[in-house]
A and B are shown apart, each in its own frame.
Chain A
Amino acid sequence: MSEQKTSEGLPPSIEVVGLHRYFGPLKAVNGVTFHVDRGQVVGFVGANGAGKTTTMRILATLDYPTRGYVKVCGIDVIQYPAQVRGRIGWMPDNFGTYDHMTVVEYLDFFARALGFKGKERAERVKDVMDFTDLTPLSARLINKLSKGMGQRLCLGRALIHDPDVLILDEPAAGLDPKARVELKHLIRILAEDGKTVFISSHILSELGEMCDTLLFIDKGRIVHHGSAESLKRGDSGITIVDVQISGDPARLTEWIEMNPHVTFKETYKQGARIEVDSVEDDVLAGVLKRMIADGLPIIEFHRVERKLEDAFIDILNRIEAEELAQTQKN
């Protein structure tokens, strides 16, 4: 079994190879392979039932693969769950609470259970409450917390032992916009702190802002692994740009006709939506430079990016079409 190494010679934070998980006839995870380098923030995207939670539970040592292996920081999750558990922070999609327990008692219990004693335990609990802004709520009963506060508490619990890898399953589900922004802010701080964050969510636009790379999973298989930027730009090899000028827009249309690598697509406000036959930033910069040099009074020039949702749907449609073609061929 070959073992991947990062540039610093350390194994990746997460290494998943040939992962399968069957529940009777249902193939919840069907041959998933990927790796996540240290300090990366990776978004895990898929429809309900695509295999996200199953994969994450196996990563968190809470479920077992039918086949394949998973390593966290180079440690096998099946054979050495105790070592792996010390390095991960797990935040499940549905946050379980205890009755008759306050915020501080809850965090204190987990700090105690994680082996912290005396002063160190008190410090850990305080740090986590400060970080998640829960200090004013320390004496409140958990079942009286709002969803957003509950999620912050759950994140705090996952951080008590300062884990290297955070596995967050739908942390923003059901949160109001304010709570979502707060959560995003906390995750960004954690990422800046060098933690590897593996996060699943349905809200793709937020993942796009937070994540270095995105993993798309469908029917238990990884269908895309790449940056949010590359997804937004697509793989057609062209770039769509909206251009506005002050004055007569016909000047812009004339200019487009005279330039071979640029095509008119449609009218856009006081200008045009154009197609540039390259995705390179240099080429786009060149086009803008030429426009200005040719005396066009440019007031707006911006790349039109696809929404991540559209990109996701496109990928799913493409796979569906390929599967259909394969079925017809057979």
Chain B
Amino acid sequence: MLVKELRQGMRTHLFSVSFILLQGVMVLTVLLGTAAEHGSDSLHGVFWFFVSTTMLIVMPIRGFSALANEVRLNTMDLIMLTRLSAWRIALGKWAALLVQTLLFFTAILPYVVMRYFFGGVNLLEEIFLIFSLFVLSAVLTAVTVGMSAFRGILIRGAVAVVLMITTFSLITGASNGWGVDLDFTDPDFWWGTLAMLITSVYAIYFFLDMGASRIAPAAENHSTRKRLIAWAFVIVALLIPVFSSADSEPMFVMAFVVMAVVWVDALTEQPVILPSILAPFLRFKPVSFSRFFLTPGWHTGLLYFLLSWVILGVFLMVHKPFYRGTDSELLMACINLGTAIIFPLLFIQTFLPRTTNLFGMYVLVQCIIIVTGFFLSSVIGEIAGYGNDVFFYIPLPFVYFVHLMENPDDVPALAVFLTAVMLAGSLFLPLLRALPLFRSMSQVSNQIRHGDASVPEGQIMNKIISRDES
């Protein structure tokens, strides 16, 4: 896959034009920098602007067409019929783009060295910043390649907008040299770098696997690995501050962000209840129950969410790694975070239970909820004041968040009770709708135990494969 992608990618106009253009700009900035002696801030900004634009926009944006192009050219089916797994296809696409980015990266290095001699810059800092850009580029490319498996142009568009906003702020930061003085002698600096690298590796894995799972055949189980690795990552992130001097707040935030992304993925998977997927779980009885939260499907995703949410909440409540507020405030924050994740599923299962594009619908509903929540909060805040209890009677998680942010020290028991009711309500209907799927899982499991590994016929069959019907 890598060879084919490189053959194709390096023959494209975008690659050659960008490469030549960047070389021209690099030569120009070095020459001007030499003439200006010890460099000027504006030239410094121009240098970083071009480097970061190439690495954070030009290269990653090509990922958006990676898997989608194969579908458009009618070649995806042909590739899927080879021995390449969906994961290897996604990885190959990403690696090819990364190798091309690496070419840019190595092409820039001589100019950095020249800037050191003629422009009076800190060589180590510059190399470190370029390396950081390269890692960020790798993550962004993984996001775009992963998202390219989604057919909905709206989803890809929404992700592109979010990425553009994030990238723009990164480029602005990069153009100003990030505005930081790097202290290479500080151990915390290296701990932070290591944490950034590990998180980047995990993010690359996750987004590529997310894309791979969308193009893989139903019988390929990506969910178990994805969910277990997320747990492993979160456990490490939470335990590092317990056993070291590392700051616990960013670690917890990072763990929560990772978990939130994995939850969204798990809650938007199509259910696939095949004997070939369930059989490995039944081989070892003590862990056979794990099929109810580790196999593909939003119904198992619901249990996975509940389980990890409780674990994360208990850890936060017991360990209180960084928290200095009241218990009720902490409890309410935990419940609210959970409700915010699960709330769109309630909406989808109530009004759109037959949708085949769960992920797209989830993103859309979540966006609407966030916008509505903040709009209502502003209106109520302006009319009744931000401390008013009327906030608690608007059943939207983000309205509660706004209240919590405005009044961190004043959380009445009624608010905690109402948020708990909202969470229970959000869980009730999706759980009810998940019951038949769990029943199907039990039926298929019993069938396997009795030695029949064939796909069950009739009504169950209608339920087990409900993948994209477009």
Contact = CB atoms under 8 A, between A and B. Distances in A.
Contacts, number: 102
Interface stretch (A59-67, A122-130, A304-312): A59-67
Nearest to A163: B81
B74 A79 contact: no
A79 B453 contact: yes
B276 A80 contact: yes
B379 interface: no
Contacts of A85: 80-83
A265 interface: no
B83 A79 contact: no
Contacts of B35: none
A67 B82 contact: no
Interface in B414-470: 453-455, 457-458, 461-462, 465, 467, 469
Task: Report the interface size class on chain A.
Answer: 35 or more
Q: Chain B contact residues: over half helix, strand or loop, or mixed?
A: loop
Contact of B276 (A79, A92, A157): A79
A100 interface: yes
A101 B3 CA distance: 12
Contacts of A79: 219, 274-276, 453, 455
B78 interface: yes
Contacts of A264: none
B74 A68 contact: no
B77 A67 contact: no
Kindly name the residue among A22, A100, A115 whose own CB sees the greatest number of chain B CB atoms within 10 A. A100
B218 A100 contact: no
A249 interface: no
Given A24-B469, A78-B455, A101-B7, A114 B82 contact: yes
Given A82-B219, A115-B83, 20 more contacts: A23-B469, A61-B81, A62-B81, A65-B461, A65-B465, A67-B461, A68-B457, A78-B218, A78-B455, A79-B274, A79-B275, A85-B81, A90-B81, A96-B75, A96-B77, A97-B75, A98-B73, A113-B84, A114-B82, A115-B82
Interface of B: 1, 3-4, 7-8, 11-12, 73-75, 77-84, 217-220, 274-276, 453-455, 457-458, 461-462, 465, 467, 469
16 contacts: A65-B465, A78-B218, A78-B274, A80-B219, A81-B217, A82-B83, A85-B82, A88-B81, A90-B78, A90-B81, A96-B77, A99-B8, A100-B7, A100-B11, A113-B1, A114-B82
Interface of A: 1, 18, 22-24, 57, 60-62, 64-69, 76, 78-82, 85-86, 88, 90, 92, 94-101, 105, 109-110, 112-115, 157
